[in-house]
Copies of this chain bind each other. A is one copy, B any other.
Amino acid sequence: MRELCSPLALAPEEMRQLDRVACNRNRIRKRDSLFWPGDPFTALYAIRLGTFKTVVLTEDGREQITGYHMAGEIIGLDGIGNDRHASQAVALEDSEVCVLPFDLLDELAHNVIALRRNLYRFISNDICRGQSMMLLLGSMRAEERLARFLLNLAQRFQTLGYSSSEFVLRMTREEIASYLGLKLETVSRLFSRLQEEGLIQVQGRAVKLLDSTALKRLVGERC
């Protein structure tokens, strides 16, 4: 548990207090949901293991994946605002989360300045993530979107201690497409094209980044 909360940078004594809060783990099976849109908001969830997607829906049934979340990240933040979750969180593989009841968390935040600040921080980071997604969806071409997606995954795998150049996607082409505001055929074609160009190697969901420099150039990064 502790390592999960290390991003919160607490003193050991505060850690013990937090342990009271985050006592209960929870296993979520692949395809099961942690919460649904409209569910009353009671807790945040710290992902210990596995991967989740968050999804929002239109009235007429279309859906948009708004995020992929891996171990060490916290989800459910969108529920604080109006005491109901706005999105759905679905496990992409068998996963495990810590339930962080928000009342307890807030009570603790009352005393522990560092925790309060870090709560703000987490929520605010989600805002920034949203802004980058708007940038991506609003003004980037398809190829650039996919390249960014891959580089972002690579970086996150790296911070988790996995290879940043070789990994297995947890999501289908259709899910990638939804996230990137494209159609699944387009994503499939893009994978093939990037492979032809020698930038990546794809075999189903197994991806190897062969030329990250070129990928970064694709997304307009100065190298």
Contact = CB atoms under 8 A, between A and B. Distances in A.
Interface of A: 56, 58-60, 62-64, 66, 77-82, 86-87, 106, 109-110, 113, 116-117, 119-135, 137-140, 178-181, 220-222
B64 A124 contact: no
Contacts of A122: 81
Contacts of A117: 106
A43 to B, nearest CB: 13
Given A62-B139, A110-B110, A222-B59, A130 B123 contact: no
A131 B56 contact: yes
Given A110-B113, A124-B77, A138 B137 contact: yes
B64 A178 contact: no
Q: Main secondary structure on chain A at its contact with chain B? A: helix
A140 B56 CA distance: 13
A135 B80 contact: no
B181 A132 contact: no
Given A59-B220, A59-B222, A87 B137 contact: no
A83 B132 CA distance: 17
Contact of A126 (B56, B109, B127): B127
A125 B220 contact: no
B64 A134 contact: yes
A101 B119 CA distance: 18
A79 B138 contact: no
A180 B139 CA distance: 10
A139 B137 CA distance: 10
